[in-house]
């Protein structure tokens, strides 16, 4: 049994901006189901304090130096919903009692100080709460200072040299890069501001810091683990990641089937499974067409899209594709999401021109997301890059055939329906490799043609995807393997530098 401290800047349902929050909720619960003892830490944002989940004070106050200031904080406690996994919240009103998590229209200027405080507070909490820890699992740049603080400290913090430090990259594009002067916020000696440790082209890089000092590294899919070692996807850290490739694991995220399962989903017009989807899914499609204001046509292929309207998600290709298809094709489109103003504007214009073929809700709705996953025939996700992706995994479970670009976790989870894969019973979707208009056109055309003219093959593709297991239990087992292999390789490390 391992005692695992899981540290994240966001945890669903307390605070969320993306998939990191889903991982932060689901992975600790999956680890507990395997017999381990996870403990979770996150900041006490305003959304946490105003939420409806029970949170209690521990009556423990802490003082943390940040730069030349001594910041007071407190430790709160609760449990992850639908579990008894303990979660601790670091409360500090000046840093965390704000409307947003990381900023509003732009990032908060003191984000380095905020998450330096959080990182140091977590280590102090280990000490004052007398927590026994085998593994500290850090996630993204907001926790990247923790491995450095542990490895460079010379005072007891409840963490010894035999504690495994794991650093997970959820999206390498976000690195926590700050001006040189912010090194003061970390409390670490300036000698560590060098190209081999914390410095990055003259600036402080907190993700790089975590990657340098952690014992084991991971990212959220095997293909992405390889991609980030290349110049194209390495975001300037590819050399470091290549140097540490033997410590880097790619573990695809899982799905919480308590939330995403068409057999039990209370948000659907009709529940269904892999054995009766031909009855239940058409009812969900009709319900979705009603909700989205689209004509109810059972034979019209319906493509769903959910997510950020951003270039990373392939929206330049999607817009070009829809402009080509909407005037003449019978394909319907159901879109849910918000993002860049230029894409919102173009989508709105297409909705006005072709209201019977495209409908869009430029917002976010969990209920509508479930209905799209269940009611659409296909799910389009042509990302430029995608560390893992979750919607394609939801789609597989809901019998909504994914059409994706073969990158990152999309490549690892979607097997293209070419003749060989269909014959072998392995095809669960359609994919294309080259990021181009021709690539997406070909993949969508193949999917629509199969749906319309080869129903037997379509049914096999649907059922292959629905029967696959992308649960968090499988992913958690891989994390346990990473924890254990990292622990087995640890040796006592010399003390380098004090934390003031």
Residue 271 lies in a domain: no
Split into its structural domains, the chain has a count of 2
Per-residue pLDDT, 498: 37
Backbone angles phi, psi at 416, to 5 degrees: -60, 135
416 and 438 in one domain? yes
Question: How far apart are the C-alpha atoms of 233 and 226, rounded to whole Å?
Answer: 9
Residue 46: how many other CB atoms lie within 10 Å: 15
What is the pLDDT, as a whole number, of residue 158? Answer: 64
B/e letters for 343-364, b = 16+ CB within 10 Å, e = fewer, are bbebbeebbeebeebbbbbbee
Helix (H, G, I), strand (E, B) or coil at 64: strand
What is the CB neighbour count within 10 angstroms for residue 312? Answer: 14
Cα distances from 129 to residues 109, 149, 222, in angstroms, run 31, 18, 36
Question: CATH code at 356?
Answer: 3.40.50.2000
Q: 154: pLDDT confidence band, cut at 50, 70 and 90?
A: low
The C-alpha atoms of residue 397 and residue 263 are separated, in whole angstroms, by 10
Identify the pLDDT of residue 88. Answer: 98
Domain match, 221 and 297 both: no
376, 411, 431 from 427: Cα distances, Å: 19, 12, 10
CA dihedral 281, 287, 289, 292 (to 10 degrees): -130
Cα angle vertex 412, ends 406, 417, to 5°?
60
3-state helix, strand, coil in the chain (%, to 5): 40, 20, 40
pLDDT(10) > 60 = yes
Local structure of residue 192 (DSSP, 8 states): G
Contacts for 233 with CB less than 8 Å, ≥ 6 apart: 172, 224, 227, 385
Mean pLDDT estimate for the chain = 95
pLDDT at 15: 94
The per-residue pLDDT for 497 is 39
**How large is the average pLDDT for residues 346-361?**
98
Same domain, 20 and 103: yes
Residue 339 belongs to domain spanning: 277-468
Q: Domain check: are 99 and 222 in the same one?
A: yes
356 occurs within a structural domain: yes
Mean pLDDT of 20-39: 96
Q: Calculate the CA dihedral of residues 183, 186, 190, 193 and round it to 10 degrees.
A: -60
Same domain? For 355 and 415 the reply is yes
The token duo for 198 is 């914390």
**Which pLDDT score is estimated for 500?**
35
Residue-wise pLDDT for 360-408, tens only, equals: 999 989 999 999 999 999 999 999 999 999 999 999 999 999 999 999 9
Q: Are 169 and 216 in contact (CB under 8 A)?
A: no
pLDDT single digits (tens) 100-128 = 999 987 899 999 999 999 999 999 999 99
What was the pLDDT predicted at 491?
62
Tell me how far CA of residue 176 lies from CA of 67, 139, 141, 340, in angstroms.
17, 12, 5, 22
Rounded CA-CA distance 363/40 in Å is 30
pLDDT band at 286 (very low <50, low <70, confident <90, very high): very high
| Whether residues 246 and 320 fall in one domain | no
Averaged pLDDT, 199-213 = 98
- For residue 479, pLDDT over 70 is answered with yes
Tell me, yes or no, whether 411 and 283 share the same domain: yes
pTM of the predicted model as reported, rounded to 2 decimal places? 0.92
Q: Look at residue 106 and tell me if it is in a domain.
A: yes
Q: Kindly state whether residue 450 falls inside one of the protein's structural domains.
A: yes
Listed range (15-24, 40-49, 274-283) with the worst mean pLDDT: 15-24
pLDDT (0 to 100) of residue 265: 98
**What would the pLDDT profile of 300-338 be if each residue is shown by its tens digit?**
999 999 999 999 999 999 999 999 999 999 999 999 999
Could you give the 3-state DSSP secondary structure of residue 406?
A: coil
Q: Identify the weakest region by mean pLDDT among 8-17, 145-154, 208-217, 265-274.
A: 145-154
Q: 178 versus 494: which is more confidently predicted?
A: 178
Give the span between the Cα atoms of 214 and 368, in whole angstroms.
40
Could you tell me which residues come within 8 angstroms of residue 342 by beta carbon, excluding any fewer than 6 positions away?
none
Q: Is residue 404 part of a domain?
A: yes
DSSP structural state of residue 94: H
292 and 413, same domain (yes or no):
yes
* 3-class secondary structure, 443: helix
Q: Are residues 30 and 149 in the same domain?
A: yes
Is residue 9 in a domain?
A: yes
At residue 153 the predicted structure's pLDDT band, cuts being 50, 70 and 90, is confident
Query: 135 and 197, same structural domain?
Result: yes
Query: Read out DSSP for 12-51?
Result: TTTS-SSHHHHHHHHHHHHHHHTT-EEEEEEE--HHHHTS
The residues, any chain, with a CB within 8 Å of residue 475's CB and separated by 6 or more, are 27, 30, 251, 252, 253, 254
Percent of the chain whose pLDDT exceeds 70: 97
- Positive or negative: CA dihedral 448, 450, 455, 461: negative
SS3 assignment, position 431: strand
Closest CA to 118 of 61, 186, 167: 186
pLDDT in tens, 395-404: 999 999 999 9
Establish if 497 belongs to a structural domain: no
Burial of 16 (C-beta count, 10 Å sphere; 0-12/13-18/19+):
middle
Residue 79 pLDDT: 97
Judge whether 27 and 39 are in contact, CB under 8 Å.
no
Give yes or no for residue 474 having a pLDDT over 80: yes
State the burial class of residue 28 (Cβ atoms within 10 Å of its Cβ: 0-12, 13-18, 19+). Answer: buried
Alpha-carbon Rg for the chain, nearest whole angstrom, is 24
**Quick check: 397 and 466 in contact, CB under 8 A?**
yes
The pLDDT assigned to 499 comes to: 38
Whether residue 263 is contained in a domain is answered as: no
CA distances from 21 to 13, 82, 314, 419 (A): 8, 16, 23, 38
pLDDT higher than 90, residue 145? yes
CB 182 within 8 A of CB 112: yes
Statement to judge: residues 293 and 347 lie in one domain: yes
**ω before 145 within 30° of 0 (cis)?**
no
- Which residues fall within 8 angstroms of residue 460, CB to CB, at 6 or more apart? 422, 425, 427
181 shares its domain with 327: no
For residue 11 the two structure tokens come to 């945890």
Average of per-residue pLDDT across 282-298: 98
């Amino acid at each position: 049994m391992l005692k695992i401290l899981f540290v994240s800047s966001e945890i669903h349902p307390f605070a969320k901006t993306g998939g990191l929050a889903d991982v932060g909720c689901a992975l600790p619960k999956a680890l507990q189901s395997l017999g381990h003892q996870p403990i979770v830490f996150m900041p006490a944002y305003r959304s946490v304090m105003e939420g409806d989940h029970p949170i209690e004070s521990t009556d423990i106050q802490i003082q943390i130096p940040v730069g030349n200031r001594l910041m007071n904080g407190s430790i709160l406690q609760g449990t992850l919903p639908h579990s008894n996994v303990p979660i601790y919240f670091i409360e500090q009103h000046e840093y965390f009692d704000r409307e947003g998590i990381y900023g509003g229209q732009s990032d908060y200027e003191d984000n380095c100080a905020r998450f330096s405080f959080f990182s140091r507070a977590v280590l102090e909490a280990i000490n004052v709460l007398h927590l026994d820890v085998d593994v500290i699992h850090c996630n993204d740049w907001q926790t990247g200072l923790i491995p450095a603080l542990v490895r460079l400290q010379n005072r007891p913090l409840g963490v010894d040299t035999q504690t495994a430090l794991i650093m997970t990259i959820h999206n390498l594009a976000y690195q926590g890069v700050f001006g040189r002067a912010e090194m003061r916020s970390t409390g670490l000696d300036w000698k560590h501001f060098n190209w081999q440790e914390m410095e990055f082209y003259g600036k402080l890089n907190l993700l790089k810091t975590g990657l340098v000092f952690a014992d084991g590294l991971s990212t959220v899919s095997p293909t992405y683990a390889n991609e980030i070692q290349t110049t194209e996807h390495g975001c300037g850290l590819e050399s470091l990641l290549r140097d540490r490739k033997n410590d880097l694991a790619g573990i695809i995220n899982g799905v919480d089937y308590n939330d995403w399962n068409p057999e039990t989903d209370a948000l659907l017009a009709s529940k269904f499974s892999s054995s009766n989807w031909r009855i239940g899914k058409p009812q969900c499609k009709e319900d979705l067409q009603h909700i989205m204001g689209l004509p109810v046509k059972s034979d019209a292929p319906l493509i769903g899209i959910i997510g950020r309207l951003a270039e990373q998600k392939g929206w330049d290709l999607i817009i070009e594709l829809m402009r080509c298809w909407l005037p003449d094709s019978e394909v319907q489109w159901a879109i849910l999401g918000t993002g860049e103003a230029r894409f919102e504007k173009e989508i709105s214009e297409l909705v006005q021109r072709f209201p019977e073929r495209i409908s869009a809700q430029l917002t976010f709705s969990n209920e509508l997301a479930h209905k799209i996953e269940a009611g659409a025939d296909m799910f389009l996700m042509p990302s430029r890059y995608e560390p893992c992706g979750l919607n394609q995994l939801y789609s597989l479970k809901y019998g909504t055939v994914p059409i994706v670009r073969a990158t990152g976790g999309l490549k690892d989870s979607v097997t293209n329906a070419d003749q060989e894969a269909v014959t072998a019973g392995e095809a669960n979707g359609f994919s294309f490799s080259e990021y181009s208009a021709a690539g997406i056109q070909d993949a969508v055309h193949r999917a629509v043609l199969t749906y319309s003219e080869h129903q037997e093959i379509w049914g096999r593709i649907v059922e292959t995807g629905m029967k696959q297991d992308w649960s968090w239990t499988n992913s958690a087992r891989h994390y346990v393997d990473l924890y254990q292999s990292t622990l087995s390789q640890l040796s006592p490390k010399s003390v380098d530098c004090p934390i003031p």
